[in-house]
Amino acid sequence: MKRVLFILSTLEDEDVEWLAAAGEKRLIAEGRSLITVNVPIDALFIVLDGALSVRLGRNEEEIGQVTAGEVLGEVSLLDSRPPVASVVALEDSFVLAIPHAALKHKLDVEERFAARFYRALGRFLAHRQRAQLVRLGYAGEDTLDENLDEESLDPELLDELSLVGRRFGTLLRRMGVEPSRDL
């Protein structure tokens, strides 16, 4: 379930309900951009279904693909600078878009939600940092990899997989999305 694993494993059920209520389902048609490099974004995105390409540079070289369960725009939420990559739909895709303004307000007024949310982002960013160190050859191969398989996950997260699956299912149902592939 990728990045959403870190978010949904740390949040409470009522937090997930709030995300669904505060956000809106958006269809990103094949070939259309969800995020454009250097253009500010106004939402945090959770990919509900579909496949998108992450692209860097003037030539927009693909550096990866994201599918259901990925979270996009988390860095722009934290530092408010425009994105450094573009994200383009490879097929018709659905995302849950949670407006930055609503999310920031909730983070400001609900300390417990804020603590859970920032802890989730911290866990994800720690995982990404470890994976980057492995890719660059600065850490042992047995440390971690980006695939989020059972061998590379924090044991705490493994215990929460069924909970995350249930919470992601709640988001899909609330948004009226029937997944086109296994998560």
Domains of the chain, by residue range, sit at: 3-172
Both tokens of 30, joined, read: 């094949």
How high is the mean pLDDT of the chain? Answer: 86
Q: How confident is the model at residue 7 (pLDDT cuts 50, 70, 90)?
A: confident
Determine the pLDDT at residue 80: 81
Report percent pLDDT > 70 for the chain: 86
Amino acid found at 31: G
Least confident of 4-8, 126-130, 159-163: 159-163
pTM of the model: 0.84
Q: How many CB atoms lie within 10 A of CB 44?
A: 24
What string of H, E and C letters represents the secondary structure of 21-50? HHCEEEEECCCCEEECCCCCCCEEEEEEEC
Residue 21 has pLDDT above 60, yes or no: yes
**Residues 85 and 55 sit within 8 Å (Cβ to Cβ):** yes
CATH architecture, domain defined by 3-172:
Sandwich (2.60)
Helix (H), strand (E) counts: the chain: 7, 8
**Residues 170 and 21 sit within 8 Å (Cβ to Cβ):** no
Render pLDDT for 40-91 as a digit per residue (tens, 0 to 9).
Answer: 999 999 999 999 999 998 788 998 899 998 999 998 999 988 999 999 999 9
Render pLDDT for 134-165 as a digit per residue (tens, 0 to 9).
Answer: 878 887 655 544 444 444 556 666 667 778 88
Contacts of 77 (CB under 8 A, 6+ apart): 44, 100, 103, 104
Determine the pLDDT at residue 144: 46
